[in-house]
Amino acid sequence: LKSLHTATGFIHFLTFLPCWHIFVWRFLVLFLAPQVAGVDRHSGFNLLLGQLHALIKDLEEFF
């Protein structure tokens, strides 16, 4: 009986992990990323790509 309870708890834990991963992904990407950029989702992504491009350009000029 104890092994059945342990197996059931382990199965519950395994089904909980994917749900937690989806929640964290949605929370971080859909809610926090646009707020960090200070603009809406698509422009925020473009803003981050623009900053990355400027950093690469500066590194090319440095070398």
Q: Which of 1-5, 13-17, 23-27, 43-47 has the highest mean pLDDT?
A: 23-27
Distance of CA 33 to the CA centre of its chain: 9
**pLDDT attached to residue 13:** 58
Domain ranges of the chain: 19-62
Q: Measure the CA–CA gap between 17 and 21, rounded to whole angstroms.
A: 6
Mean pLDDT, the chain, whole residue set: 59
pLDDT 10s digits, 32-49: 555 555 555 555 555 566
pLDDT band at 57 (very low <50, low <70, confident <90, very high): confident
pTM > 0.85: no
Q: Determine the length of the chain.
A: 63
Q: Measure the CA–CA gap between 40 and 28, rounded to whole angstroms.
A: 14
